[in-house]
Amino acid sequence: MRKDVLRAGLLAVALALAAGAGPAEAQGRRGMQGSDMFAGMSPEGRRVMSAALLDSRSDPLRAQVEAAHEATLRLLEADPLDREALARAMQEEDALLARQLEARRERLLEAFAKLSAADRRAWAAGNRARRAEMPGRGLGRP
């Protein structure tokens, strides 16, 4: 479900950017949790973070992760359950997810390095606000 929420949020950002949304529209865009994900950020900061988040949609590992997940689900549905095959499939999926997370971390680090100190503070404040709206969700993620 969290992937679907992220996809919907990224789609909203992409549509707004494709429609030529300027700073006023970008400032009002809200994530699926309701808080403004770019509140207080400069237009340049919003552009940098939008680009970093949208890059995840073209992630080359995305199709592999989806295929690995589907393989795990097929093994889970099988009767009788092949525990060893299921464990291998789950390990493969976990390894792909770890590679995907590392790539995401690198994209975010590059984006954060491009932000001004004020934009980094604004992003951190927005992140805290989104987490406060959904206690216990998204822990450990930037």
Residue 75 has pLDDT above 90, yes or no: yes
Average of per-residue pLDDT across 21-28: 41
Given a contact cutoff of 8 angstroms between Cβ atoms, the answer to whether 53 and 10 are in contact is yes
Evaluate whether residue 54 is within a structural domain.
yes
Q: Are 10 and 57 a contacting pair, CB within 8 Å?
A: yes
Question: Does residue 141 lie within any of the structural domains?
Answer: no
Gap between the Cα atoms of 136 and 142, Å rounded: 14
Residue from 14, 98, 1 nearest 53 by CA: 14
Is 75 among the domain residues? yes
Q: Please report whether residue 42 resides in a domain.
A: yes
Using only C-alpha atoms, what is the Rg of the chain? 18
138 in any annotated domain? no
Q: Any residues with CB less than 8 A from the CB of 93 and at least 6 apart, and which?
A: 65, 68, 69, 71, 72
Domain that holds residue 104: 2-133
Q: Is residue 27 part of a domain?
A: yes
- Asked whether residue 139 is domain-assigned, the answer is no
The larger pLDDT score, comparing residue 101 to residue 3, is at: 101
**36 φ/ψ angles, rounded to the nearest 5 degrees:** -75, 110
User: Is the pTM higher than 0.85?
Assistant: no
Residue 142 resides in a domain: no
- Give me the number of domains the chain comprises: 1
Beta bridge partners of 36: 30
Q: Is 73 helix (H, G, I), strand (E, B) or coil?
A: helix
- Write the pLDDT tens digit of every residue in 90-117: 999 999 999 999 988 999 999 999 999 9
